Amino acid sequence: MTEALLTIEGLTKAYPGVVANDDVSFRIAPGEVHALLGENGAGKSTLVKMIYGLVRPDAGRMTFGGTAFEPATPHAARATGVAMVFQHFSLFEALNVAENVALGMEDPPPQRQLARRIREVSETYGLPLDPDRLVGDLSAGERQRVEIIRCLLQDPKLLIMDEPTSVLTPQEVDILFETLRKLQAEGTSILYISHKLEEIKTLCDNATILRLGKVVGECNPREESARSMAEMMVGTTLHTPSRDEKEPGEVVLDLAALSVASANPFGTSLRSIHLEVRSGEILGIGGVAGNGQDELLAALSGETPAPPEAIKFCEQEIGHLGPNARRRFGLLAAPEERLGHAAAPDMSLTENALLTGAIREQLVAGGFLRWPQAQGFAEKIIAAFDVRTPGPANAARSLSGGNLQKFVIGREILQRPACLVVNQPTWGVDASAAAAIRQALMDLAAEGAAVIVISQDLDELMEISDRFAALNEGRLSAPRAAKGLTVDEIGLMMGGAHDMEVAHVA
Amino acid sequence: MIRLEKRPSPSRTVGMLTPVLAVLLTMVAGSVLFAILGKNPFLAIKTIFYDPILGEFAFYYRGQLLVKAGPLILIAIGLSLGFRAGIWNIGAEGQYIIGAICGAGVGLAFYPADFWFIFPLMVLAGAAGGILWAMIPAILKTRFNTNEILVSLLLVYVAEQILASMSLGLLRNPDGAGFPGSRNLKQYEAAANNELIVGTGVHWGVVAALIAVILAYVLLNRHMLGFQIRLTGESPRAARFAGVRPRLLVVFCLGASGGLAGLAGLFEVAGPAGQISIDFNVGYGFTAIIVAFLGRLHPVGILLAGLLMALTYIGGEAAQATLGLPAAAIQAFQGMLLFFLLAVDVLTNYRIRIGRMEAA
């Protein structure tokens, strides 16, 4: 076995009430792409923060290149040769690429020299990037390149990447993977954090799996199936959502040239969207974040008004109606943002059940609230969707993301919608809760409801959709049967590489 | 290192205890203030908080307590509805003045007739005046997106000018030998808001305040509109999703608070004050903001807070008279109450941790 670049032995970090990392050990060899797998809350972030000098471990030790490694600050970690690309970019939109890169450097060279270095590095690694462009004009994929190049200029020996593909189209992912392989060939090690198991199978040499802060397994992802790795992450056998094939029924929701100008200057306007959803059918809508997903949900839920004829529900014009009038018809929605949009954080689950259930569950009589019935409805959701909480009197914000999401989706499903629109139904939700939510959506469709699932998780959409369409800059592609769609075709529907030049790796 | 840690759920116990803590802190800081002014701090606190209720002259002060608390509670209840929804009516003082002018104007128009309906009509006119004055910021906000804080506040000064002009002009007592101020409504039986039970200070305004407390409680806890008000305050985006129409809510909340402030003005001008005069308003509309927050925007809390605030007014006057404390010191003392309340408020959602700070 070759000398390891980074060894981690017995790292432990406890926060009040929770052990984030418990005796974690693994090693990364030079030139190895090592995956760190785990559900939300498994302790991945705490672990990489310790490696990057943001958090100090309570116990355990690390060695880097054979010597003891105890970074007290990110500065010390960078000096040793560790670089990190965060999931959320820290870039200034009003500055150009070179200026942004300079801001992240310890000792930036003069602008012109830096611009030349950026060009060199970007060509070497197949990441074309013009140092003079404003970051505000760049796509998400190009912004990520800025972060990566900022790291590469430090000549790192270990590059940490936290969920790098969540904002990329499949084509952009391919470009990124080319770059990472080239880095690997040069001997740079990569610690790759993701929950997308197919990506890990294609890219990584080894994987360490964390569950509840402990290492529960190591594996070679190329020899495992995505399912077996998911089960190691969750610790139980996963139930794959399934349903019987059925012919779709009547058209329930019909959008004809729906255009909505965004109220927010940084939002995306919807442009002439056409779509039809039939009862018993799940329509999956994919697309990179920020291409009109929130706006589409708001237009369908009734939060943003539209011309009456642009939205037809069972042949009635409803575009001008507000959320409650649409609920009366049976058009329900579950937005992406759980806290603050789908639910009020400081209100109890009973009050949150009332939030959308007042009309269809008859929780109001003559303007007066029927608290016992509202509590009963909340209890019904908690029981039917296995929401882990001491009771309906607890505040929404005290629930974990997965449990609150089950509550939010369950609240709509139990109201027997004729059409349900959900945005990111399993975002930030653990694998077993995600499987339960997907199954519930498929059951709902099997019972004859029309379902629209807006999601950035393509695997999810391919798993549950009958038809697939993609949002790109506020336009919706023509829906196509999901069965048999290739990743390339999906990528092109999502806008391809967003005008990024495809790299030619030297 | 002391730091704040967010609680998983807001603590109800702490939420009920913070006003008590704020009162205690105010007493401590107030004592320091009074000591610096060279007065015996214990005597001052006793004069403000104890004497009006249980002291030698309590029989006089107790009646005053309800006379002062009535308008404070009535106005604060109205303000609390808007504050719950994040709609900030700061101009209750102006609505109070306009309510008083409209109500008194109707009463004086009938002078010296004696009909049973004169007083009820004045009550309606007082409420209508307050509502209309509050509709100015409401309509400007819903139509042109202006800030209701600024508009309602500035309209207070407009209302004060109208008040001055009325006491010198239109409503001036024709038999008043040229002195500014209207006829005294207390001497006009059909329009007077007299004590209902002699010696208690209970007049129709106090009754109205109690009814408002009950209605507000029912509205907030049992009615859909109250739920929408609370939801809008908690999370405007979730409220929109739940089908709340924000503009309607702005009009309702400003209308309700304006109407109640107008009523308070009418009951005051027809009762304790007796007449429209240049210095008719004494700041109830502003003090009611403190009362609303001191009462945690909860109807029962406001009832208690109104009584407490009235006590500091009466006790403060007593302290001015017997101990020679300057009026500004009493005002500073009342201001401290709001300051400490807001400061300890943070404990409802956060707890204090003493320990080492974690990097990052």
Residue A245 lies in a domain: no
Statement to judge: residues A10 and A126 lie in one domain = yes
Statement to judge: residues A79 and A206 lie in one domain = yes
What pLDDT, on the 0 to 100 scale, is given for residue B1?
Answer: 63
Q: Among candidates B336, B74, B83, which has minimal Cα distance to B229?
A: B83
Residue A241 lies in a domain: no
Tokens representing A440?
Answer: 């519930």
Tokens representing B193?
Answer: 């808001």
What pLDDT, on the 0 to 100 scale, is given for residue B359?
Answer: 41
AA letter at A212: L
What pLDDT, on the 0 to 100 scale, is given for residue A240?
Answer: 67
Distance CA A389, CA A386 (A): 9
| CB proximity under 8 Å: B 184-243 to A | 222-225, 227, 230-231, 234-235, 237-243
Residue A500 lies in a domain: no
Best-predicted range by mean pLDDT (A129-138, A485-494, B51-60, B198-207): B198-207
Distance CA A112, CA A158 (A): 28
What pLDDT, on the 0 to 100 scale, is given for residue B8?
Answer: 67
Residue A503 lies in a domain: no
Q: Give ipTM to 2 decimals.
A: 0.84
The number of distinct structural domains making up chain A is: 2
Beta bridge partners of A311: A255
Residue A29 lies in a domain: yes
Residue A401 lies in a domain: yes
Minimal Cβ distance to B237: which of A49, A340, A356: A340
Determine the 3-state secondary structure of B153 from DSSP: helix
Where exactly are the structural domains of chain B? 38-325
Cβ contacts of B241 on chain A, cutoff 8 Å: 301, 303, 323, 333, 335, 341-342, 355-356
Statement to judge: residues A488 and A379 lie in one domain = yes
What pLDDT, on the 0 to 100 scale, is given for residue B307?
Answer: 93
The better pLDDT of the pair A167, B303 is held by B303
Cβ contacts of A303 on chain B, cutoff 8 Å: 240-241
What pLDDT, on the 0 to 100 scale, is given for residue A505?
Answer: 44
What pLDDT, on the 0 to 100 scale, is given for residue A153?
Answer: 87
CB contact under 8 A, B238 and A341: yes
- Asked whether the predicted pLDDT for residue B267 surpasses 50, the reply is yes
Per-residue DSSP letters for B205-233? HHHHHHHHHHHHHHHHHHBHHHHHHHHHH
Tokens representing B103?
Answer: 């109500």
pLDDT in tens, A271-330: 999 999 999 999 999 887 778 888 999 999 999 999 999 999 999 999 999 999 999 999
What pLDDT, on the 0 to 100 scale, is given for residue B213?
Answer: 97
- Asked whether the predicted pLDDT for residue B350 surpasses 90, the reply is no
| CB proximity under 8 Å: B 70-99 to A | none
Cβ contacts of B239 on chain A, cutoff 8 Å: 344
Distance CA B99, CA B127 (A): 6
Distance from CA of B76 to the nearest CA of A (A): 24
What pLDDT, on the 0 to 100 scale, is given for residue A155?
Answer: 87
CB contact under 8 A, A394 and B225: no
CB contact under 8 A, B358 and A55: yes
Contacts of B96 (CB under 8 A, 6+ apart): B71, B75, B130, B261, B262, B264, B265, B268, B281, B284, B285
Statement to judge: residues A89 and A116 lie in one domain = yes
Tokens representing A187?
Answer: 């001997």
Determine the 3-state secondary structure of A147 from DSSP: helix
Statement to judge: residues A96 and A156 lie in one domain = yes
* Domain interval for residue A21: 6-234
CB contact under 8 A, A397 and B9: yes
CATH of the domain at A309: 3.40.50.300
Size of interface A-B (CB pairs under 8 A): 80
Instruction: Write down the residue that tokens 């399912």 correspond to.
Output: A227
Contacts of B59 (CB under 8 A, 6+ apart): B199
Statement to judge: residues A64 and A213 lie in one domain = yes
Check: CB of residue A491 under 8 Å from CB of residue A169. yes
Assess B174–A contact: CB distance below 8 Å, yes or no. Answer: no
Q: Which residue of B has its CA nearest to A370?
A: B222
DSSP state for residue A309 in the 8-state scheme: G
Statement to judge: residues A172 and A263 lie in one domain = no
Over pLDDT 90: what percentage of chain B?
62
Residue A501 lies in a domain: no
CATH label, B38-325, candidates 1.10.3680, 3.30.70, 3.40.50, 1.10.3470: 1.10.3470
Beta bridge partners of A64: A6, A67
Low-confidence stretches of chain A (pLDDT < 70) are 1-2, 16-17, 40-41, 237-245, 264-266, 496-506
Beta bridge partners of A453: A284, A422
Determine the 3-state secondary structure of B110 from DSSP: helix
Distance from CA of B359 to the nearest CA of A (A): 6
- Asked whether the predicted pLDDT for residue B122 surpasses 90, the reply is yes
Q: Which residue of B has its CA nearest to A324?
A: B243
Distance CA A68, CA B137 (A): 67
What pLDDT, on the 0 to 100 scale, is given for residue B56?
Answer: 79
Chain B interface mutation, best of A329, A347, A423, highest count of B Cβ atoms under 10 Å: A347
Statement to judge: residues A210 and A275 lie in one domain = no
Minimal Cβ distance to A398: which of B8, B222, B224: B8
Statement to judge: residues A269 and A188 lie in one domain = no
Statement to judge: residues A224 and A196 lie in one domain = yes
Chosen domain end from A234, A266, A293: A234
Assess B9–A contact: CB distance below 8 Å, yes or no. Answer: yes
Tokens representing A264?
Answer: 């927010």
| Pick from A198-207, A417-426, B55-64, B258-267: least confident | B55-64
CB contact under 8 A, A398 and B225: no
Cβ contacts of A324 on chain B, cutoff 8 Å: 242-243
Distances (CA, A) of A92 to A103, A106, A288: 10, 17, 21
Residue A239 lies in a domain: no
* Average pLDDT score over residue span B186-198: 87
